[in-house]
Amino acid sequence: MIAIALTVNGKPVAAEVEPRRLLVDFLRDELGLTGTHIGCDTSQCGACVVHMDGVSVKSCSLLAVQADGSQVTTIEGLASDGDLHPMQAAFREHHGLQCGFCTPGMVMSAIDLAARVPEPSPADVREWLSGNFCRCTGYHNIVQAVMAGARAMSTDG
Amino acid sequence: MHPFDYIQPGSVAEAVGLMRDTADARFLAGGMTLIPVMKQRLAAPSLLIDLARLAELRAISAKGGTLTIGALARHAAVAESPVVQARIPALASLAAGIGDAQVRNRGTIGGSLANNDPVADYPAAMLALGARIRTDRRCIDADAFFTGMFATALEPDEMIIQVEVPVPEAAAYQKFEQPASHYAVAGVMVAKAADGVRVAVTGAGSGVFRMPAMEAALADDFTPAAITGIAVPADGLNADLHASAEYRAHLVTVLAGRAVAAAMGRS
Ligand SMILES: Cc1cc2nc3c(=O)[nH]c(=O)nc-3n(C[C@H](O)[C@H](O)[C@H](O)COP(=O)(O)OP(=O)(O)OC[C@H]3O[C@@H](n4cnc5c(N)ncnc54)[C@H](O)[C@@H]3O)c2cc1C
Ligand code: FES
Ligand code: FES
In this model, does residue B164 exceed pLDDT 60? yes
Please give the helix or strand (H or E) that residue B245 lies within, else none: helix B245-266
Residue B180 has a pLDDT of 84
Global pTM?
A: 0.97
How many beta carbons lie within 10 A of that of residue B11, not counting itself?
11
Residue B55 has a pLDDT of 96
Q: What's the B180 CA to ligand 2 centre distance in angstroms? A: 13
| Phi, psi (rounded to 5 degrees) for B219 | -65, -35
Binary contact (B101, A65; C-beta < 8 A)? no
Binary contact (A18, B103; C-beta < 8 A)? no
Q: Which residues of A touch B1 (CB under 8 A)?
A: 20
Specify the length of chain B in residues: 267
Question: How far apart are the C-alpha atoms of B208 and B223, rounded to whole Å?
Answer: 23
Architecture of domain A86-156 in CATH? Orthogonal Bundle (1.10)
Q: What angle do CA A95, A100, A106 make, to 5 degrees?
A: 80
In this model, does residue B82 exceed pLDDT 90? yes
* Contact between B259 and B190 (Cβ < 8 Å): yes
Q: Which ligand is nearest to the CA of B94?
A: 1
Res. B179 pLDDT band, cuts 50 70 90: confident
Q: Which residues of A touch B103 (CB under 8 A)?
A: 43, 58, 131
CA B75 to the chain's CA centroid: 11
Distances in whole angstroms, Cα of residue B222 to Cα of each of B47, B209, B256: 49, 20, 11
Q: What is the pLDDT of residues A15-55, one digit of tens each?
A: 999 999 999 999 999 999 999 999 999 999 999 999 999 99
Ligand 2 pocket test: which of A37, A38, A57 has the largest number of ligand atoms within 8 Å of its C-beta? Answer: A38
Averaged over successive runs of 10 residues, the pLDDT of chain A (157 residues) comes to: 97 98 98 98 96 98 98 97 96 98 98 96 97 96 98 85
- Residues carrying CATH 3.30.43.10, chain B: 1-52
**By CA distance, what is B38's nearest residue in A?**
A20
What is the least distance, in Å, from the CA of A42 to any CA of chain B? 6
Instruction: Specify whether domain B171-265 bears CATH 3.40.50.150.
Output: no
**B120 Cβ closer than 6 Å to some ligand 1 atom:** yes
Residue B266 has a pLDDT of 67
| Phi, psi (rounded to 5 degrees) for A7 | -115, 125
Instruction: Report the DSSP beta bridge partners of residue A11.
Output: A8
- Residues carrying CATH 1.10.150.120, chain A: 86-156
Q: Under CATH, domain A2-75 is a member of which superfamily? A: Beta-grasp domain (3.10.20.30)
* Contact between B120 and B184 (Cβ < 8 Å): yes
- Residues carrying CATH 3.10.20.30, chain A: 2-75
**By CA distance, what is B8's nearest residue in A?**
A66
Percent of chain B with pLDDT over 70: 99
Question: What is the rounded average pLDDT of the residues B13-32?
Answer: 98
Res. B267 pLDDT band, cuts 50 70 90: low
Question: How far apart are the C-alpha atoms of B89 and A21, rounded to whole Å?
Answer: 39
A113 at interface of B, judged by CB pairs closer than 8 A: yes
Select the residue from A17, A53, A58 to test the B interface by mutation, using most B Cβ atoms within 10 A. A58
Nearest CA to ligand 1 atom 46: B27
- Residues carrying CATH 3.30.390.50, chain B: 171-265
**A97 Cβ closer than 6 Å to some ligand 3 atom:** yes
Question: How far apart are the C-alpha atoms of B131 and B141, rounded to whole Å?
Answer: 6
ipTM value, please give it. Answer: 0.96
Residue A106 has a pLDDT of 98
**A43 Cβ closer than 6 Å to some ligand 1 atom:** yes
Question: How far apart are the C-alpha atoms of B208 and B254, rounded to whole Å?
Answer: 17
Question: Which is nearest to B101 in space by CA: B40, B186, B182?
Answer: B182
| Phi, psi (rounded to 5 degrees) for A40 | -100, -35
Q: What topology is assigned to B1-52 in CATH?
A: 3.30.43
Q: Which residues of A touch B81 (CB under 8 A)?
A: none
Nearest CA to ligand 3 atom 4: A134
In this model, does residue B193 exceed pLDDT 60? yes
- Cα end-to-end span (Å), chain B: 48
Question: How far apart are the C-alpha atoms of B204 and B213, rounded to whole Å?
Answer: 17
**By CA distance, what is B52's nearest residue in A?**
A66
**Among the partner residues B32, B50, B101, nearest to A61 by beta-carbon distance:** B32
Distances in whole angstroms, Cα of residue B250 to Cα of each of B47, B76, B243: 44, 31, 11
- Contacts of B73-79 with C-beta under 8 Å, sequence gap 24+, read B73/B108, B73/B109, B73/B110, B74/B30, B74/B104, B74/B105, B74/B106, B74/B107, B74/B108, B75/B99, B75/B103, B75/B104, B75/B105, B75/B107, B75/B108, B75/B109, B75/B112, B76/A55, B76/B101, B76/B104, B76/B105, B78/B109, B79/B104
In this model, does residue B211 exceed pLDDT 90? yes
Question: What is the rounded average pLDDT of the residues B75-97?
Answer: 98
